[in-house]
Each structure stands twice: as structure tokens, then as C-alpha cells.
Structure 1
């Protein structure tokens, strides 16, 4: 099994960060939380969700936690706001005090945590009484179309590539496992909602280029290929993607969002 790589901020932004930012807007609107709260962004990465929180929720404090020092450096460079602190840490053992945060949120990270149940228990631990613990993950099964087209093409050429497909690897890409995970953590009033955003690529290079950046399962797989195999995959994708008359490629990305209340 290839090791997932999350280190180069610009490559991550080109691959999924730009789409995560769009989902973050819908996610925060769905949460409908009052402004001026204390927020924790777990698995904050390069700061896509953190930036949206600052704009939409006007927090008094925001703490971002991520295990990647490289991503944290990128987040600190992107977000210059005295209300924000970025800290290195593990979602399974958060470096945060108990019962402190109005909202504990996570964007696109929970599937990459070795023990998701332990992470959600940590979300509940640091959420204030009546605080919200919430997250969103890509719908790898069908709703994250840029990845679905990629893996369908990859496995058509190399069936072994299917073992790396996020659909097979990550159970938390559907509503019911997410609902169960939040409920088992003792959170109440658990709800799950789909959030869909357009992902329009101006041309094929705009779609294909981010898969060469090495950040995430699909790009990590591409880096292992021979030049010939990579070229074959590229042309398989070129033939399978839906094209507009102007050469653009219009897809959609769906994430599943889940939230629950800490009863205290």
C-alpha cells in the first residue's frame, strides 16, 4: 500500500484544496452557528476551512491542528489573523483542553486518521457543553467525480490500482457510517447532509496537472508509474471525461457533512 503524502501546500491546493474551500462555505452555512464563538479546526491542512470560518463565523478564537508541519507553515503564511493559532497535533490525541470550544470541525481529514472513532471522541472531549462537533468528507463512492473518473480509468488499465481507490479504503465516505461514528461518540441530534459544488476545469491540463503533484492517494499512485503507463492513463482519461465545446470539463464534487451536539 502506498503511503499517503500530505506535505506540499501548493500541490494540495491545486488538487483538492480549491474545491474544499467551496465545500467549506456550504458546510458552515449548514451548521448555522452563532458568530463570536471559539472554534477548533482539526486536520486544518493549508487552512481552507479555517479561512472560511474567519469570513463566515467571525470567531473570537480559532485553533487549527494538523500533523503536517509543512501544511501548517503554508496555513500560517496564508492566514495572518491574530485570532488564529496553528498547532501541530494528532486528531486522536488533541493538544487541546477539555470542554473549551463552541465548534470543533474537520474538513476532509477524518478518513486519513488511523482510528476515526478515537478522533471523534476527542472532538467530543474538547467541545463545550452544547457545543457542536462536525466534519465533512468526500463522497468517494460517486459524488467526487474528478477522483471517480481517475480511478475508473486507472483500474481499467491496471486492476490492481483498485486497491488504492479511496472508495475501497475509506468506510467514512457514506452517510450511515458517519452517522454511526458520531452517535457512538455520545453526540446527540446527529444529522448528515450532502453538500455539492461545481468543479469546472478550464481544460484537460487543469484537470490532469494536479494528479502529477504527489499529494494524496491518486497523485501518489501516478508518481509510481512508468512514463508509458502514465501516458496511457492520461489518454484514457482524456477519452472518458465529459468535454464542453470550449474545451472545459464540468464536473461536480459532493461531500457528506455530519454534525452532533455535545450533551456536556
Structure 2
């Protein structure tokens, strides 16, 4: 199978970006932090969480970083306020000094990193003493239905797909591993909470089309298939998805949100 691709912001948006923009505001409201703070958004992608911070937290500034130059370009193009700055950087080697921000957050990224523990340690390092570190990840094993339905269908047809299923590959996307991850980074008062959002599709075509964009594990798997097995997967999915009376596909998505405080001493 082709390598998982995270580079094209325009292709990412219809696949997962639009749902990132739904869950990000709920996460920012849950943090419930005062205005005027300095934020960093680690693994900012196309800017969904950065935009939610700007809209709801009224920050002094937000510094977004991502390893993908394509995503950084997309974020710069769509978020033009001088309070937001974007750069290409590795989450495990952040280009910020110690205590550079009041709040350091990461949305839907930690599970994709080769060393999430080091990334959270870096997030804590660059947060001021007493400041907040927060993150959220999709519940791929159960609650992220649009992905869960896909891999259940793919795995029923192709044993190889079961090894690519994010629900199996990302055990960290559950409450206790997240709590441990933040606690091991030296953060205090760690809390974990579920964030549920609706992910309704106009029809099956609206659901299926983003899987053809090649961005992320499931679309990369679809791209790797020949025409006949791809059509078989499409038809198997179409038959198994719930359908409302008006033809829409009513699904929901769950993310697990975690936050902690950098100790003052």
C-alpha cells in the first residue's frame, strides 16, 4: 500500500478536516481559559483548532506548527489575522523556548506521531509554569463512526485491511492511555473527557467521495485497491451504513480530550 499521505490541505478538508472544525470548538470551550493568553497549536494541520482558538478564546496570539508544508500553506492562506503565525516544525523538537506559551494544545495528532511521549514532554516544556497543556484524539476503536464503519467493511473483505485499522493501531486513543501519557510528562490535575459531535452526510456519495482523496490511512488504502475490489468495498459500505428517511447518513464522532497543568514547581 502507498504510504499514508498528510500533505494536501484541499484533499484533507472534505475527508476529516470538516469534522475537525466541528470538534475543535467543543474542545476550546471545555478548556474554558481566560482571554489574552498566548497559545501554541502543535500539529495544526489546516488550522481547524487554531481558528477555534481565535474565535472562542480571544488569544493574544496563536503559533501553529506542523510537519506538513502543504498544511502550513493552507492554514496561512485561510487564516490571515496577524494574531496567528504558522511554521513547519517537528512536534518532538518544537522551535519555541521554555515557557513560551500560556496554553499549548494539539488536535487529532498525537496518535500519528512516532514518539507521542516526547511530543507531550515538549508541549509541557514550552508551557509556562501553571499553564495548560491539552489535546484530543478520535476514538477510532468505537466512537469515530465514519472511520469505524469503513474499517469494519474493509476488514470483512480483506484481511490486510485489519492490520491498517486505526482502532487496532492506536491504543492510545482511549482515556487511560491519555491520562498516563500526560501524567508521565509531569503534568498535574490531568482530566479526560469524551467530546461527541454529529457527522451527518447528505447521502452515500457525500460519505464515499472523501475516501478517494488519498489523505490518511483509510483513503490511502482505497487508493491502493484495484478497480474491482474498490467497487466491492464501496457497495459493501453502501449496504451497511445507516440511512435516514431523507437519504442522509446519520453518524456521530467521539473524541477523547485530555488536559493537564504544568506544575509551578
Contact 2:2–2:224 (CA under 8 A) maintained in structure 1? no
TM-score by length of 1: 0.99
Residue 240 of structure 2 corresponds to which residue in structure 1?
240
For residues 2 and 263 of structure 1, do their structure 2 counterparts lie closer, same or farther at Cα, with a shift above 3 Å needed? farther
Residue 4 of structure 1 corresponds to which residue in structure 2?
4
TM-score by length of 2: 0.98
Distance 2:206 2:200 in 1: 9
Unpaired runs of 5+ in structure 2?
none
Distance 2:214 2:260 in 1: 34
What is the root-mean-square deviation in Å for CA atoms of aligned residues? Answer: 0.8
User: How far apart are residue 246 of structure 1 and its match?
Assistant: 1.1
Residue 133 of structure 1 corresponds to which residue in structure 2?
133
Pairs within 5 Å for 1:74-223: 74-223=74-223
Contact 1:103–1:132 (CA under 8 A) maintained in structure 2? yes
Distance 1:28 1:191 in 2: 14
How many matched pairs?
A: 264
User: How far apart are residue 3 of structure 1 and its match?
Assistant: 2.3
SS class of match (1:104): strand
SS class of match (1:141): coil
User: How far apart are residue 88 of structure 1 and its match?
Assistant: 0.8
User: How far apart are residue 2 of structure 1 and its match?
Assistant: 4.8
User: How far apart are residue 160 of structure 1 and its match?
Assistant: 1.4
SS class of match (1:189): strand
Residue 35 of structure 1 corresponds to which residue in structure 2?
35
- The CA deviation string for residues 41-92 of structure 1, in whole angstroms up to 9 with x for no partner, is 0000000000000000111111000000000000000000001110110000
4+ residue runs of structure 1 moved beyond 3 angstroms? none
Residue 68 of structure 2 corresponds to which residue in structure 1?
68
Contact 1:139–1:173 (CA under 8 A) maintained in structure 2? yes
Contact 1:2–1:217 (CA under 8 A) maintained in structure 2? no
SS class of match (1:39): strand
